[in-house]
Every structure is written in structure tokens, then in C-alpha cells.
Amino acid sequence: GAVVSQHPSRVICKSGTSVKIECRSLDFQATTMFWYRQFPKQSLMLMATSNEGSKATYEQGVEKDKFLINHASLTLSTLTVTSAHPEDSSFYICSAREDIRGYYGYTFGSGTRLTVV
Amino acid sequence: AQSVSQHNHHVILSEAASLELGCNYSYGGTVNLFWYVQYPGQHLQLLLKYFSGDPLVKGIKGFEAEFIKSKFSFNLRKPSVQWSDTAEYFCAVWNAGNMLTFGGGTRLMVKP
């Protein structure tokens, strides 16, 4: 089945530094990937939609200058949290969408737990 | 805007009890429906999905869900839960706007 690899799984960084999270579709091409954020005891919140070769579409309230998304190839999207602060600590999950003969399949990465100290 | 509601935030059951988790959505057009499960410390996994055809969908691990269009519902069921079903369950709806919207999640605890 489709597999999405997300790295790193955990990262601890100092306040003010930047962190890059990678999301790769291993055995399929994903023209569209999604980045979600999950707060403790809450559901997934869509942050942005990443389209290969074009700018990402951000949801309302998500700072695009803070959460930089790059989707340079059909198998890789990256999320960079710039100048991270403790309030950015969260669980980030990517999802890659595969077009399967007319319908979309969504495969999720294993998530990245970011802790900003 | 589309919304997805899961009525039960926390459910506690004993092993062998029957399970039904509610999911309602607001979108009136064509939708695809999903249930995902997130076991403790693991990533999201697809339990089952509905695109068209038989509204009663069978998924992995004995789960099933029924799409009732008139009620905008897609409830998840399992006749007899096991301790290993302890997890968080998410209903999700995809609409023609190409967006996947998640419900708030239901945390299930099964007592052995």
C-alpha cells in the first residue's frame, strides 16, 4: 500500500531557531500534500495545502511567513517552522493525496512532535 | 463551510461491548467519507472509506460504518470491542472542493 515517510518523528529546538520537517511519498506521486497540526486532546487542524510546483494555500489564521512550505517534487513536501517559539510546540502531520483511478486516497505520515524550549 | 461533528468525545466500554460512534457532516453535495484510527503513539491509519455503492461499508478489524444520506451521517460500529481497540477515532469527509475535513475525534477506552 501507499506509504508516506515523515521525518523527524521528534525534535526539540531552542526558541528562535528554525526546524524543517520532511514528508515523502515513497511509492506514489503526490501532486497535493496537506499539513496538519494537532493540539493535545484536539482534532487535526488543516494548516495548508501544498501543491507541487506552486505556492501553498494556507488556512485562515496560519502565518505563511512562519510556516514555510515547499513542494519541489512530486514526492517531497517540507514544512519549515521559522523562528520557533514555545507556542509552536505541537504535533505536525502530513498527508499525501494519491489519485487512484478517479478518487483520492489519503495517506498520512507518522507525525512529528515538535517541542520548543 | 463544511463541518464534521463527532458527538462523543470520550467513550469507555468493557470488552465484548458493542460500539457505535456518531459522525455527522454538513456538506450537501457529493462526499467521500472516511474513518481513521490513531492508536496510542502511532500515526493515523485508515479504517474504512465510502465512495459510492452499498452504504454499509466494512473495514479492517471488524469495523463497519453506514452512510445514511438523509441524515448526513456516517456512524462507525463494531459488534464486540477488544482492549486493543483503545484508540482515538476520527471521522473525515472529503467534498468536491478537494478538502478533507476532520471531526473532533472520539477517544475510546476499552476496559479489559
In B1-112, which ranges are continuous DSSP H helix? none
Q: What is the mean pLDDT of residues B83-105?
A: 84
Closest Cβ opposite residue B44 in set A42, A103, A108: A108
Model confidence at B78, in pLDDT bands (50, 70, 90)? Answer: very high
B46·A106 Cβ contact <8 A: yes
pLDDT band at B28 (very low <50, low <70, confident <90, very high): confident
The overall average pLDDT reported for chain B is 89
Question: Across residues A42-58, what is the average pLDDT?
Answer: 86
Q: What is the torsion angle, in degrees rounded to the nearest 10, for the CA atoms of residue A40, residue A42, residue A45 and residue A47?
A: -20
Cβ of A112 under 8 Å from any chain B Cβ? no
Least CB–CB distance from B32: residue in A34, A42, A103: A103
C-alpha closest to that of A6 among A95, A103, A101, A106: A95
Rounded mean pLDDT of B25-44?
84
Do residues B47 and B60 make contact, with C-beta atoms less than 8 angstroms apart? Answer: yes
For residue A90, what is the DSSP state?
E
The HSE-up count of residue A11 (CA atoms within 13 Å, CB side) is 25
Query: Is beta strand A112-116 parallel, antiparallel or unpaired with respect to A90-100?
Result: antiparallel
Instruction: For residues A25 and A3, give the distance between their C-alpha atoms in angstroms, rounded to a whole number.
Output: 6
What local confidence, expressed as pLDDT, does residue A26 receive? 92
Confidence of residue A37 (pLDDT cuts 50, 70, 90): very high
Whether residue A104 is predicted with pLDDT greater than 80 in this model: the reply is: no
Q: What is the pLDDT of residue A27?
A: 87
Give the C-alpha separation, A94 to A106, whole Å. Answer: 10
CB contact under 8 A, A110 and B103: no
